[in-house]
Amino acid sequence: MPERLRKLHIDGRTFVWKATIRHVPGEGDCHRGIRLRVWGSGKNGRILQADLLSKSWPGPWGACATDDAYPTLADVRTVIGYGLKHGWDPDARGGFHLLTERDHDWELPGFLLTDRLLDPTAPDPTNRVIHAYEQRTAGATQLDGSAGQGSI
């Protein structure tokens, strides 16, 4: 099945992007990964690439099998904006501008950056996913006012 290229228009410029579902191996488990690639100047322009790691945890039958995380248009727009602010020149010819976990301490609401898809020896993503999940659920508990309240 051919991959679908999507278009996004930002400030009068057309960006073409695709997101490919991958599996990010952890030690004893796996996580859903998305390889996001964006072109801003045709097929010969410099590609922006971000390997995204889903913050979903835990999956009922294993995170790889049941995680349905996928970047939204807002996520892609945010990645493009971040890439442009951090040195991506879409008009340059050839090559990649990589947003890596090692170089960018940055995340989206549903995703972290991961280097595991490029480098199998990169740090295990499991602890980062669990920590991000705990932060998100602790914040949600505080927002809805249920923290510290027992059930009847």
Residue boundaries of the structural domains of the chain: 6-143
> In whole angstroms, what is the distance from residue 2 CA to residue 5 CA?
9
- DSSP E strands in the chain: the ranges are 6-10, 13-25, 30-39, 47-54, 96-99, 111-113
Spatial separation of the C-alpha atoms in residues 150 and 140, rounded to whole Å: 16
pLDDT at 148 over 60: no
Q: How far apart are the first and last CA of the chain?
A: 52
Cα 127 to chain centroid distance, Å, stands at 16
Q: What is the pLDDT of residues 2-46, one digit of tens each?
A: 578 999 999 999 999 999 999 888 877 888 899 999 999 999 999
Query: Beta partners for 111?
Result: 54
**How open is the CA angle 118-33-3, to the nearest 5 degrees?**
90
Global confidence as pTM = 0.84
Q: Sort strands 96-99 and 47-54 into parallel, antiparallel or unpaired.
A: parallel
**136 band by pLDDT with thresholds 50, 70 and 90:** confident
Q: Which residue has the higher pLDDT, 141 or 23?
A: 23
pLDDT at residue 98 is higher than 90: yes
Residue 67 structure tokens: 């995680």
Amino acid at 107: E
